[in-house]
Amino acid sequence: MKKVSLLVKALGLGTLISAGAYAQYNPKASYEGPAKMNTWSLSIHGGPTQFFGDLREYDYYPVGLNNFDSASERGTYFGGLTVGKQLSHLFGLQLGGSYGTLRGMKRRQYFSYFRSEYLQGDLTGSVNLKSLLFGVNKMKHWKVDVYTGVGLMSFKSTAYELGTGRVRRYTGNTGDGVVRNASNRNTLVIPVGLGVHYELSPRFDLGLDIRYNRTNTEQLDATIGGDASSVFDPVGPRGSLTATEMKRGNSNVDGYGYGAVMLTYKLGKRAIRVQKINGKYEYDTTLGTYHLRWTDPKSLIKPPVILTLEQIDSVAKANRPKDIDPRLLTDTDNDGVSDYFDRQPNTPAGSIVSGAGEAIDFDKYVSAALPGVACAEIFTNVQFDTDKNVIKPEFYDMLNKVVELMNKTQCRLQLAGHADRRASDRYNIALSRRRVEAVRQYLVRAGLNDPSRIVVDYFGSFKPVGDTSRPGLTKNRRVELRLVP
């Protein structure tokens, strides 16, 4: 049984040590895992853009010439800012905003080119593809995300005739044929993309972001196209795409893409990243806080350690409390003050003593007590015969003095009942309770004006002050009285 007890204590101690060293439980986290983790990030990104729609000469290669029948499709760009919130190691949300430009041209059918500026805001959700497909233990400092979402794009575009540069159409709200500046038009956007990131340090990540944005309009290039009926009138009026010209042609809706370099700053306190120690990646949350982008919370849970019996004995001995001074458990003179604090450990039986165990003249103390003041700590006992709860006449005078003192002062009284060991625990508890109640009732009948200042307790034979000899058993049949301020 001793070995089993030591095993339970040691395993409990090991669990507490493990929890304190490797994980701080975070019940408010949206992810599974025992440790607090950083979850927010801020990214800046930018790069070239590419338009996909009617005014596009080739599918994948942008034209770079400017002459009588060409207009460069190159030189477009964008820049943006994104706030990220990682919901779990595999899933995250990003709220982003960007500004950019677009260009395109088409010789066949349209003989036109366009220029456009846009602002876009979007909310996307990402999936950590690397961890999902290859696991969290491979390519520790690499991250591959796929994402999609929804956004709103505000753009203004103007289409021009190749060679002459004359305005043909532009986004706006007028249709009187007078050439004016383009104005903004809004459209829904569905972004789809792939991001590859490398963890440079505990704070910074560097990545490459490739995205295609599908818009919900054919007017991103200020052109509605697809067949001969959509060709610009070579001599007719030029002007805005009015509400009546919001029709859809036979071509697909417009879109654009980009390739961007992304620098991410990971927010949060005490940022750290996993380190390789002796050829193996090791986590230790006592050093700081990991980011959920890169760390699976389950990786921070340490497996339980199975101790040998020798280790269990060592842990139990190391954590064993100091032995209690035996003088705290003995009261040689049975005056209610343990020998450790008793300045007079041999006071006569029935003595009334102070908190230091020194005998006092209780009659003089009661006579000298001032009304309304607190009293000092005073101890005494009431002894009982075997299996009895009747107060002996020799204690009447002392109890009457207790009543007089309590009525004059603000003293409180603690009563604790005890019994010897010559019966069952249940019987002795009940007997000690009857003895305490007998003393309390005597005090009330003797004229105590505030019985609420009496606190009672009873312990049966669990707190003996004497041994199993006849004198020792006599000491144990008692009610302890403790007058306190």
Indicate whether 294 and 376 sit together in one domain.
no
Residue 460 near residue 418 (C-beta atoms within 8 A): yes
Q: Which residues pair with 117 in a beta bridge?
A: 101, 156
> CB under 8 Å to 195, separation ≥6 — which residues?
126, 143, 144, 145, 146, 147, 207, 208, 209, 210, 262
Residue that the structure tokens 């602002």 belong to: 119
**CA dist., res. 383 & res. 367, Å (int):** 25
In a domain, 50, yes or no: yes
Cβ of 82: how many Cβ atoms within 10 Å?
19
Does residue 164 have a pLDDT over 80?
A: yes
Last residue of a domain, one of 300, 335, 352: 300
Which candidate, 453, 420, 439, 434, places its Cα nearest to that of 334? 420
pLDDT in the model for residue 180: 57
Confidence of residue 173 (pLDDT cuts 50, 70, 90): low
**Structural domain for 417, as ranges:** 326-484
Choice between 321 and 403, residue whose per-residue pLDDT is larger: 403
5 found inside a domain: no
d(CA 119, CA 152): 8
If one counts the domains in the chain, the total is 2
Residues 73, 200 within the same domain:
yes
Query: Could you tell me if 293 and 332 lie in one domain?
Result: no
CA 394 to chain centre: 66
Co-location of 101 and 28 in the same domain: yes
Are 262 and 173 in a shared domain? yes
pLDDT of 434 over the 80 cut: yes
User: Residue 130: is its pLDDT beyond 80?
Assistant: yes
Grouping H, G, I as helix, E, B as strand and the rest as coil, residue 277 is strand
- The conformation of residue 291, written as its DSSP 8-state character, comes to B
Q: What pLDDT is stored for residue 28 in this prediction?
A: 53
Name the least confident of 85-99, 208-222, 463-477.
463-477
Q: Judge whether residue 372 has pLDDT over 80.
A: no
Q: Identify whether residues 159 and 289 lie together within a single domain.
A: yes
Residue 397 has pLDDT above 60, yes or no: yes
Q: What is the DSSP string of 367-384?
A: HHPPTTS----EEEEEE-
How much is the pLDDT for 360? 79
Which pLDDT score, from 0 to 100, does residue 438 have? 94
> Does 18 map to a domain?
no
Q: What is the mean pLDDT of residues 209-213?
A: 97
- What's residue 45's pLDDT? 97
Q: Are residues 371 and 233 in the same domain?
A: no
Residue scoring higher pLDDT (229 or 213): 213
| CATH number of the domain within which 364 lies | 3.30.1330.60
Residues 224 and 334 reside in one and the same domain: no
Q: Rounded CA gap, 57 and 39, in Å?
A: 44
In this structure, is residue 305 part of a structural domain? no
Q: Which of 72-86, 223-237, 361-375 is predicted with the least confidence, judged by mean pLDDT?
A: 223-237
295 and 202 co-located in one domain:
yes
Residue 93 sits in a domain whose CATH number is 2.40.160.20
Same domain, 43 and 114: yes
Q: State the average pLDDT over residues 424-432.
A: 91
Spatial CA neighbour of 400 closest among 456, 444, 336: 444
Residue 31 lies in a domain: yes
Residue 308 lies in a domain: no
Return the structure tokens found at 401.
């003095």
CA–CA distance, 208 with 78 (Å, rounded to integer): 14
Structural domain ending residue among the three candidates 252, 282, 300: 300
284, 300, 316: which is the final residue of a domain?
300
Q: What mean pLDDT, rounded, does the chain reach?
A: 82
Within this chain, do residues 239 and 290 fall inside the same structural domain, yes or no? yes
Report the pLDDT averaged over residues 70-89.
94
pLDDT (tens digit per residue) in 299-314: 888 777 788 888 888 8
Task: Pick the closest to residue 42 from 263, 261, 193, 201 (CA basis).
Answer: 263
For residue 441, tell me if it sits in a domain.
Answer: yes
Looking at the structure, tell me whether residues 375 and 463 fall in a common domain. Answer: yes
Average pLDDT, stretch 211-237?
71
1 is a domain residue: no
List the single range of 104-113, 366-375, 383-392, 436-445 with lowest mean pLDDT.
366-375
